[in-house]
Amino acid sequence: MATSTLIQFLGPGEGAATVNRRQVETYIAGGTIAAGDWVALDTGKTGADKALYVIATPAVAGRGNVAGVALAAASSGDKVDVVIGGYVGAAKVAAGTAQHASLTTSATAGTAVTYATGTHTGTGPCGVALTAEAGGFSEAYVYSKF
C-alpha cells in the first residue's frame, strides 16, 4: 500500500517510524540487500516489474534510478521496506562523509558518496547526510523523487 502524504504527522521528538514527512514503500528485493543500502529500481526485470523490484544501487554507469534506502536486510524475493523520502537513521555512506554533505550513489554497491557538481554522470543528488559518517553509516534525509 502506498504511503499517503495527504495528512502529515507533525509531533516533534517521535521515533523514526512516525517521523514527520517520512515516506516508506514496500518493494520486492531483486537480490541481496543489506539494511541501510541505497537501492535502485531493478531495470533487469521485464515490463512493470522494473518498478516493483529493487536492488542495491549497482556499481555501474547509469545508476541514477535511486528509489531510497532499505530499512532492513532482504534476500532475493523478500519484501523490503524502503524510505523513499525523508529521514533514515542509518544510510550506508563512504568513509569520511561529512555532516551536511549532499549524497549521490557511488561505484560501491549500496553506498552513497559526497556529490560534487559535474563529477557524477547520469545521477544527481539523492539525499543529504544529517550526521558525519560513523562506522560506514550516517543519518540521512532521502530526497523524494516520487
Query: What is the rounded distance in angstroms from the CA atom of residue 106 to the CA atom of residue 18?
Result: 29
Q: Indicate if the pLDDT at residue 8 is higher than 70.
A: no
Q: Indicate if the pLDDT at residue 25 is higher than 70.
A: yes
Q: Cβ atoms within 10 A of the Cβ of 12, count?
A: 6
What does the block give as the cell for 92?
550506508
Q: Cβ atoms within 10 A of the Cβ of 145, count?
A: 13
What are the tens digits of pLDDT across the range 34-68?
Answer: 999 999 999 899 999 999 999 999 866 556 689 99
Residue type at 78 in one-letter notation: D
> Going from the N-terminus, what domains does the chain have, and what CATH number goes with each?
16-142 (2.40.300)
What are the tens digits of pLDDT across the range 65-122?
Answer: 899 999 999 999 999 999 999 999 999 999 999 999 999 988 889 999 998 866 555 5
How many residues are present in the chain? 146
Grid look-up 540487500 returns: 33
Q: What is the pLDDT of residue 3?
A: 56
Q: What is the pLDDT of residue 1?
A: 46
Query: What is the rounded distance in angstroms from the CA atom of residue 37 to the CA atom of residue 54?
Result: 11
What does the pLDDT average to over 126-140? 97
Query: What is the rounded distance in angstroms from the CA atom of residue 113 to the CA atom of residue 103?
Result: 5
